[in-house]
Structure formats: structure tokens, C-alpha cells
Amino acid sequence: MCASGLALVSCATPEFHAEPPAARSGFEHTSTPDEVTQFLASLAHTPFADRLQVSSFGTSGEDRPLWLAIAASPMPTSPTEVGDRTVVLVNANIHGGEVEGKEAVLQLLGEIGSGAHAALLEDVVLLCVPQFNVDGDAARDPRERVAQNGPEVVGHRPNAAGLDLNRDFIKLESPEVRALTGLFREWDPTLLMDLHATNGTHHGYHLTYAPSLSPNVDPAIDGFCRDVLLAGARERLDQVGIRVFDYGNSGNDAPYVWRTYDHRPRFGTNLYGLRNRFSVLSEAYVYLDFAERVRVTHAFVLEILTITAERGDDMRRICREADERAVAGGLRFGYDTRLAPKVPFDLLLGEVREVPVGDLGVRVEAVDRIRSETAHAQVAFESTSFTDLPFAWIIPLEEQDLLDRLHAHGVRVERWSSSDALKRYPKQVFWITEVDRSPRAFQGHHEVRCRGAWSGGQSWCRPNSMQYVVRSGQPLGRLAAQLLEPQSEDSLVTWSVIQVEDPTEHGISQTPPFSICGLLLDGIGPDDVFELVDSPD
């Protein structure tokens, strides 16, 4: 296996074929990790190879390279030389058995190497990760996803350590998600797309989608993503006979209520919205045959890219303005989240047939018969409780693991240069009254949720010059709040990176405060100097 820097894979490269391996097999099988590597290497032989770069941006748990393909014209020499183009990151195959996104991305790269989509690359710098969960994809097993309508053999859902990578975007335990988060920091894409396949309801859509579902996303980003980017793609694809709609499930019997999945930022596209950037989840309908899933995923990705090229100036401006609002401070953080009210709509339902697959089970295949049913949709979330963010959170010196996670996310961590600086400002502490710890382990953790309130208690918070400060007024202030606020529904408390104690275990009504204090002030004094902490000491 050869590695590369910021140039095309340069080891002995195979001859380029415009069709990726899955297409050349008649979609009988999906590309193996070696075939993906060979296809990416073969891009060096395309007529327009100068529009493509391939490099490894990390390694998997089993030391396989994580490939990044960049498509641009002209090719930037670094992320700082993108200019006025819009950076888009397309991630595929996060679940090893969901393979249509991988093949759609390889097809798109082959087309670019053959000269297609040249106008698109004048306005977009495209980053593609075709095979993110490479270890899961390599673990081929005919018993995986038997109900899926081809190919016959696919990989495992989790990575080699048994982690669902699309539940790891808060705690960052896997090398794969750590590496992808590094791309977030390095390239700061305006848009992230994550490509999947979904089963469940026997619906009539070729593909369903979702923006970031976190209710704490900047409203301007949420509105543009839903009303312009996704609605525009839906309208254009409908004109060519591809039916797409908001992701959801209703069950297969009336009354039909179409509900989306989850708002928590452990999911990659949900978290990415908290970075004040756009994100789109793509879910091809798993009961369509493999070739059709690749076709509609490719079409959806290309349409989103086309709209992004057309509206990139607006998208980048909206992101900048969201950053400015976050830096200005005064944000409120929502929790106690629930589905938004039901909205009536006409739901498209389809039919399926079941085909026995030996002693493995039953394959489910979509039948081209579609009907419309009156239904209600719940495709967004809303918070019912809110808290005003402190000026900053004070992190104790001993919380090195916490600091490491914050730095990995790109959250700005600082400290005061003066040993007495923190002492002169009022502070508050979070008094815990209730801790709910899940009895069942998930991803190796018993998830934690705590209740309580911020209030006085200056004597409990004794900052010194070596303690760290995370200001809420920073571009990633929304993400920082998600990670640090004790009542956040998916935080570093949830995953026990921040430890909390249950007051009932001590026979008292409340515990000593949360280990992180809140710093209360409207601004810093003229003599206070912050020092940026590049990495935990």
C-alpha cells in the first residue's frame, strides 16, 4: 500500500476505467478497500488529472489509509488558497454495509477526471471521502444487511473496535472520526454531506434527506438549508422523476405520522450544523436495487453541488454572519428537546416483495407501485427549556482529557496571563440535584444526564492562573455549549469525559458543584490579557 502527501497516489497505478469497479461488475458487488485504492490511483491517468488530488488524511483502527480525493480547478495548494470558491466535503460509507454513497462518489470522481463538471469546479472545491469506515467495509459477511436489495455481500456497520462511527462525533473516540474532525478544522467546509441508505417504512421516495436537526443551529443556516438548498434539490430532481423528501419513518399502517430520527449531535450532520456550517444527510432507499441507489445518490449529490455553486456566495456569507453572532455572545442554549408540531402533507408509500435468500433470511425489493396517503410530518425539533450562556466556562487544570477533546473539536481554549485575573470577577457554579445514568451500556458508556441550576457559590470555584477559559463568545460557541453545558442532552457529561456525582448517593439534596465553573462578566478589563492554548500542557 502506498501513501501520499498532497499529490495523486504515485505508486504503480492501474489503467483508468471511467466506470468504478462496482459498475464494471454490473453492480453485482461493491468495491473492496483495495479496489477503491486502485481506482483512486488510476485517476492519475485521466485526461484531466490536474483537477484531482488524492491523499491519506489518517488511518483506521486496523491501519488502513483513509483516502481523501480533492477535485478543483485550479487546485489549491492549501486550504488558505481556496479563494472565493465554496468548500464542500462529501463523506460516504460511514456504515460499512451502506455502500451506494461510496460508489456514487467514485463515479463522480471518474467523471471529473474524464472532463465532466468543469464549470462546477470553478465555484466549488470538492473534498471526497469515499470509504470512511474502511475497516467495517473490509469485514465482508453475507449475513450483513440481508434485507438490503443488493449487493449480496457487504461489510459490518461499526468499525473494527465495534463503534458506530455516526455516534462518535461528540466523544471522538475512534481514529476515523478524529481524522475527519481534523478535516473540519483544516478545511472548514461550508457544507458537509454524509451519504447513507435507510430501511424501515415501505415509502415511495428514492431518497430522503435531512439538515442538521439540532435545535441550537443558527436559524439563518437552518432556514437556508431547508428552504433553498434541500427544497431546491427536491424540486429539480422531481423534474427528472427522482422522488426525494425529508428523512422519516411512519410505519406501514395508518394513521401515518412521518417522524424524523434524532436531534443529538453524536450524529455527524447534526454536530456539523453547530459549527455554523451547512450539513445534509442523504439516505437512499435500501429496497431499491443497488444500481438504482447509486444512481439517485449520485444525482442528489450533484444537484446539491450545483445549487451550492450557484448560491455559494450567499452560503459563505450566512456562515460568516453566524460566526459573528456567536462571537458577539448573548446566545441562549436550548435543551429538553421534543419533535416540532405535526404538519399535514401527502405521504408517498410504496410496495415491496420479499425474496428468500437461502437460510440467511429475506431480501426486500421495492415494487414500482406508489400511492399517496394523508399524513402528518414531524421533521424538526424544538427546545422547551433554555439557559443563558456564561461569558466563559472555567476548566480545572486536571481536566486534561476534556481539554484534549475541546482541542480536537477546534474549540478555542485560553487562559489569563495574570495570576489574579480570574479572582476579580463573579462566578457561578452548577449545583446538581439529579443524575440519570443509563443502566445499559451504549458504545461502551453508560450515558449520563444531570439536572440542577447555575447559581452563586464563588467559594467553590477557586481559579488560578493555570486554569483554562473557554469563552462562549467564539465562532464555535454553539458547539462549546453543546459540549460543556451540564444540562446539554448530548455532551461530554453524557459520555463521562466530565464526571458528575449523584446527590442521592450521598443522602443529600444536592452535590458540590459541577467541576466546571461559569464566569460571569459582560466584558474583560483593559488590563486582562488572554493567552491562546494551542494544546493541553
Does residue 7 register a pLDDT over 60? Answer: no
Interatomic CA distance for residues 482 and 492, integer angstroms: 8
Interatomic CA distance for residues 267 and 169, integer angstroms: 6
| CA distances to 287, 340, 394, 509 from 406, in Å | 40, 31, 13, 31
- How large is the average pLDDT for residues 435-458? 91
Under 8 Å between Cβ of 375 and 258? yes
For the chain, where do the domains classified as CATH 3.40.630.10 start and end? 21-330
Closest CA to 67 of 87, 40, 99: 40
For 180, left (φ over 0), alpha (ψ -120 to 50), or beta?
A: alpha
| HSE-CB for 537 with a 13 A CA cutoff | 11
Q: What cell numbers appear for 245 in the block?
A: 423528501
Three-state secondary-structure class, residue 292: helix
Full-model pTM: 0.95
pLDDT for the residue numbered 454: 87
**Which residues in 441-521 belong to E strands, given as ranges?**
448-455, 468-471, 517-519
pLDDT for the residue numbered 3: 40
Angle, in degrees to the nearest 10, between helices 33-42 and 100-113: 10
Strand 124-129, strand 191-198: pairing = unpaired
pLDDT for the residue numbered 417: 65
Amino acid identity, position 205:
Y
- How large is the average pLDDT for residues 314-324? 98
Strand 343-357, strand 361-378: pairing = antiparallel
- How large is the average pLDDT for residues 349-369? 96
What is the chain's Cα-based Rg? 24
Does residue 365 register a pLDDT over 80? Answer: yes
pLDDT digits (tens, 9 = 90+) for 247-285: 999 988 889 999 999 999 999 999 999 999 999 999 999
Does residue 528 register a pLDDT over 70? Answer: no
Measure the N-to-C terminal CA separation of the chain; round to a whole number of Å. Answer: 36
pLDDT digits (tens, 9 = 90+) for 129-155: 999 999 999 999 999 999 999 999 999
Closest CA to 245 of 264, 226, 262, 263: 226
Under 8 Å between Cβ of 216 and 481? yes
- How large is the average pLDDT for residues 326-334? 94
Least-confidence region, from 203-217, 220-234, 450-464, 476-490: 450-464
pLDDT digits (tens, 9 = 90+) for 220-256: 999 999 999 999 999 999 999 999 999 999 988 889 9
Which of 108 and 464 is assigned the larger pLDDT?
Answer: 108
Which of 58 and 7 is assigned the larger pLDDT?
Answer: 58
Tell me which CATH homologous superfamily contains domain 21-330: Zn peptidases (3.40.630.10)
Interatomic CA distance for residues 393 and 477, integer angstroms: 11
Interatomic CA distance for residues 234 and 232, integer angstroms: 5
pLDDT for the residue numbered 501: 84
- How large is the average pLDDT for residues 413-426? 72
Does residue 521 register a pLDDT over 70? Answer: no
DSSP for residue 167: G
pLDDT for the residue numbered 93: 98
Three-state secondary-structure class, residue 366: strand
State whether the Cα torsion 438-133-478-309 is positive or negative.
negative
Q: Mean of the per-residue pLDDT values for the chain? A: 92
Closest CA to 216 of 326, 106, 363: 326
| CA distances to 79, 250, 252, 380 from 375, in Å | 46, 9, 12, 16
pLDDT digits (tens, 9 = 90+) for 373-399: 999 999 999 999 999 998 889 888 778
Amino acid identity, position 40:
L
Interatomic CA distance for residues 130 and 145, integer angstroms: 20
pLDDT digits (tens, 9 = 90+) for 69-81: 999 999 999 999 9
DSSP for residue 5: S
- Percentage with pLDDT > 70 across the chain: 91
Burial of 356 (0-12, 13-18, 19+ CB in 10 A): exposed
Does residue 536 register a pLDDT over 80? Answer: no
Three-state secondary-structure class, residue 139: coil
Burial of 405 (0-12, 13-18, 19+ CB in 10 A): buried
pLDDT for the residue numbered 530: 66
pLDDT digits (tens, 9 = 90+) for 473-494: 999 999 999 999 999 999 999 9
Under 8 Å between Cβ of 500 and 432? yes
Interatomic CA distance for residues 364 and 351, integer angstroms: 10
Q: How many CB atoms lie within 10 A of CB 256?
A: 18
- How large is the average pLDDT for residues 334-357? 97
Does residue 10 register a pLDDT over 60? Answer: no
pLDDT for the residue numbered 504: 79
Under 8 Å between Cβ of 210 and 246? yes
pLDDT for the residue numbered 236: 98
- Percentage with pLDDT > 90 across the chain: 79
pLDDT for the residue numbered 527: 58
| CA distances to 149, 235, 276, 366 from 534, in Å | 48, 45, 22, 52
Closest CA to 194 of 281, 101, 271: 281
pLDDT for the residue numbered 430: 87
Under 8 Å between Cβ of 106 and 116? no
Three-state secondary-structure class, residue 270: helix
pLDDT for the residue numbered 467: 77
